[in-house]
Chain A
Amino acid sequence: MDKIFRVNMTDLTTKVEEVPAAWAGLGGRGLTSTIVAAEVPATCHALGAQNKLVFAPGLLTGTAAANSGRLSAGAKSPLTGGIKESNAGGTAAQMLAKLGIKALIIEGQPKGGAWYNLSVGLNGVTINEEKELLGLGNFAVIDAVEARLGKKTGVLTIGPAGELKMTAANISVKDPDSKIRSHGRGGLGAVMGSKQIKFISIDGEGAQAVKIADPEKFKAAARVFSKALLDHPVSGEGLPTYGTNVLVNILNEAGGLPTKNFTVGEFAAHDKISGETMHDTIAARGGKVKHGCHAGCIIQCSQVYNDKDGKYITSGFEYETIWGLGADCCIEELDDIARADSLMDDIGIDSIETAVMFGVAMEAGILPFGDGKGVLRMLTEEIAKGTPLGRILGGGAGSVGRAYGVTRVPVVKNQGIPAYDPRSVKGIGITYATSTMGADHTSGYTIATNILNVGGYVDPLKKEGQVELSRNLQIATAAVDSTGMCIFVAFPALDIPECLPALIDMINARFGIALTGDDVTNLGKHILKLERKFNQEAGLTSAHDRLPDFFKTEPVAPHNAVWDFTDAEIDEFWNF
């Protein structure tokens, strides 16, 4: 039977609880958001004792379903002030699922200054005081935990940014190669830091295969699902070959590649940082072109990027990071961006928020545009050390904008806007504006239909159809985020008719239930409404479902597009 593990950091006690009936059918984002909405007062301080940090594997995590090994982390976000769910790959989700842990809830706050680590195992959690690893970067923490507890140990850890409670801090998850994937967005690393927990180790001893109610039906559906993933040109060929960074050239051609802190939509040096160039560089230097963030990923959008001497620099090198430090900060050297990516993993800071932040910092004159070495220096000398400037930078784009009086600050609900200009790709602007998460491309990825011709086509430069597109995708994404699936299964799901039914069949076969497509849509709607209600109670109203003014007043080249949705048109999003 699945269990809820609960850790109270105020009195340093732990409990193993039965799963309440109302939570039984939930997983991933659906479960973390339900728990946060039920147990966290919306108006509490996100770094105070009343906030809770919740981890939950998805409904299919731990099974043989392809790409189902994602872990959701949830809390009230110190960055947005609203609810947050951020999901990541790595080994932790599958270990938790196989240990029968439906959710790990961390609440309260230590009264003294001591720091702790948590050991999670089959029978519960123990809280241990931690002294040795404080102040260390995430790579060193993972090495040390493996040396202490064994190579197979799962690890969730925070770096210096999380210890310093910076609002751009993330939570790192050990991947199958002992490298890092991240619960990146929304400052969840600061929440873990506020609980004075440096790392969580997971011992897989005694883990069992996840129980499947109808194994034959499951196997048949899993086969159809995997075939759809491999048959679709994006998930079967594009992503494994070029990774997500293939988007640099596409968005540049479409005039939607935000450049020089969102002042233009094209980057002259796009080819130097493009997916095509990166692919050839990786191959020439003996890296890995494709790589999975967890066992069972058959898409493998990740990669291993080496330096010119063939030495490892980074993995999981994503379009959004490369866009942000590349086009948005005008840094042309992919090696500098790769080094920054690795440093951000080690410091434990969100690479999207931090890249957007550096664009604002460059506009503020803290360092010049294009200064890759300056970025590396600021990461190590300011942010990692927690100097006063480092703390401002570590607070993200909004923090730097406020401290330096910059008005061109691309954020919604104080979270940095990623990689796609909402003026020239209008559907994603609706997602940025309305998402319960703050500006988050993954929460309703209209780029598929606006730019990539997946799931049909809606002209990115016109207003027609964008609200509906974003709404449908946000509803579907909230449901998919509850299954433990990587969001890239959406590409085949949008185009191949058998894909989504196979996904639902797998859930039904796993639990012996009979969900329909409508049930899944209703689950997505329910999650969005629950999250929005939390946000409203926290003080985030429709006035916060807006893009910054400059998008309305500054046309972006080459299409000279502006953000021209009225407030009423945006608010139509919630009409479901």
Chain B
Amino acid sequence: MQITLKLFATFRNGRFKIAEQELPEGTDVRAVVLSLGLTEEEIGIVMINGRHGGLDQALKQNDTLSLFPLVGGG
């Protein structure tokens, strides 16, 4: 299946902003995180198609996965 992967803030360093990825059916968010060389602890916010998601969530064809470190403002 194909997904769109978006990275933000420090996650972009040495990586990319946005990429299309071809993944085995049913891959979960954790597997994508680890494949990037990131650890679970580094993940602040996971969004799938603009909704908050979790590391255990399985991805589907055409999903957009966005990963943020813990950041904030106000």
- Cβ-defined contact, B74 with A241, below 8 A: no
- Cβ-defined contact, B45 with A451, below 8 A: yes
Q: Is A271 an interface position by the 8 A CB rule?
A: yes
- Cβ-defined contact, B52 with A239, below 8 A: no
- Cβ-defined contact, A241 with B50, below 8 A: no
A448 to B70, CA, bound (A): 11
Which B residues lie within 8 Å of A451 (CB)?
45
Interface string of B8-47 (1 = CB under 8 A from A): 1110100001000000000000000000000000001101
Which A residues lie within 8 Å of B71 (CB)?
233-234, 237-239, 242, 246, 250, 452
- Cβ-defined contact, B8 with A276, below 8 A: yes
Which A residues lie within 8 Å of B51 (CB)?
461
User: Which residue in A233, A247, A487 is a CB contact (below 8 Å) of B70?
Assistant: A233
User: Which residue in B8, B52, B70 is a CB contact (below 8 Å) of A459?
Assistant: B52
- Cβ-defined contact, B17 with A453, below 8 A: no
User: Which residue in B9, B45, B47, B66 is a CB contact (below 8 Å) of A275?
Assistant: B9
Q: Is A87 an interface position by the 8 A CB rule?
A: no
User: Which residue in A247, A442, A461, A559 is a CB contact (below 8 Å) of B72?
Assistant: A247
With known contacts A254-B50, A457-B52, A459-B52, A319–B45 Cβ distance under 8 A: no
A254 to B68, CA, bound (A): 12
The A-B contact count (CB < 8 A) is 86
Q: Is A550 an interface position by the 8 A CB rule?
A: no
Which A residues lie within 8 Å of B8 (CB)?
246, 249-250, 253, 276
Instruction: Name which of A247, A253, A441, A559 has the most chain B CB atoms within 10 A of its CB.
Output: A253
User: Which residue in B6, B17, B50, B70 is a CB contact (below 8 Å) of A255?
Assistant: B50
Min CB distance, A319 to chain B, in Å?
Answer: 5
Which B residues lie within 8 Å of A253 (CB)?
6, 8, 47, 50, 66
- Cβ-defined contact, B70 with A453, below 8 A: yes
Which B residues lie within 8 Å of A362 (CB)?
none
- Cβ-defined contact, A238 with B50, below 8 A: no
Q: Is A369 an interface position by the 8 A CB rule?
A: no
In the complex, the chain A residue whose C-beta lies closest to that of B66 is A253
Min CB distance, A134 to chain B, in Å?
Answer: 35
Min CB distance, B32 to chain A, in Å?
Answer: 16
- Cβ-defined contact, B50 with A559, below 8 A: yes
- Cβ-defined contact, A452 with B72, below 8 A: yes
Instruction: Name which of B6, B10, B71, B73 has the most chain A CB atoms within 10 A of its CB.
Output: B73
User: Which residue in A241, A457, A491, A558 is a CB contact (below 8 Å) of B9?
Assistant: A241
Which A residues lie within 8 Å of B74 (CB)?
244, 247, 319, 441-442, 445, 447-448, 487-488
Count of B interface residues, CB-CB < 8 Å: 20
- Cβ-defined contact, A452 with B9, below 8 A: no
Min CB distance, A568 to chain B, in Å?
Answer: 28
- Cβ-defined contact, B72 with A276, below 8 A: no
- A11-35 residues at the B interface, CB under 8 angstroms: none
User: Which residue in B12, B66, B70 is a CB contact (below 8 Å) of A452?
Assistant: B70
- Cβ-defined contact, A246 with B52, below 8 A: no
Q: Is A157 an interface position by the 8 A CB rule?
A: no
Min CB distance, B4 to chain A, in Å?
Answer: 12
A459 to B44, CA, bound (A): 15
User: Which residue in A233, A245, A457, A559 is a CB contact (below 8 Å) of B73?
Assistant: A245
Interface string of A544-574 (1 = CB under 8 A from B): 0000000000000011000000000000000
- Cβ-defined contact, A233 with B12, below 8 A: no
A559 to B51, CA, bound (A): 9
Which A residues lie within 8 Å of B6 (CB)?
253
With known contacts A250-B45, A253-B47, A453-B44, A319–B73 Cβ distance under 8 A: yes
With known contacts A447-B74, A487-B74, A559-B50, A233–B45 Cβ distance under 8 A: no
- B48-70 residues at the A interface, CB under 8 angstroms: 50-52, 66, 68-70
- Cβ-defined contact, A243 with B73, below 8 A: yes
Q: Is A298 an interface position by the 8 A CB rule?
A: no
Instruction: Name which of B8, B45, B70 has the most chain A CB atoms within 10 A of its CB.
Output: B70
A271 to B45, CA, bound (A): 18
Q: Is A367 an interface position by the 8 A CB rule?
A: no
Min CB distance, B46 to chain A, in Å?
Answer: 9
- Cβ-defined contact, B9 with A448, below 8 A: no
A452 to B71, CA, bound (A): 7
- Can you name 21 A-B residue pairings with CB atoms under 8 Å? A233-B70, A234-B70, A237-B71, A238-B70, A242-B71, A243-B73, A244-B73, A246-B72, A247-B74, A250-B45, A253-B6, A254-B52, A275-B9, A445-B74, A447-B72, A447-B74, A448-B72, A453-B44, A454-B70, A454-B72, A487-B74
Interface residues of A (CB under 8 A from B): 233-234, 237-239, 241-247, 249-250, 253-255, 271, 275-276, 301, 319, 441-442, 445, 447-448, 451-454, 457, 459-461, 487-488, 491, 558-559
Known pairs A242-B71, A271-B17, A558-B50. 9 more at Cβ < 8 A?
A238-B9, A238-B70, A239-B72, A242-B73, A249-B9, A276-B9, A448-B74, A452-B72, A460-B52
Closest 3 pairs between A and B when the two form their complex, measured CB to CB: A244-B73, A238-B71, A233-B70
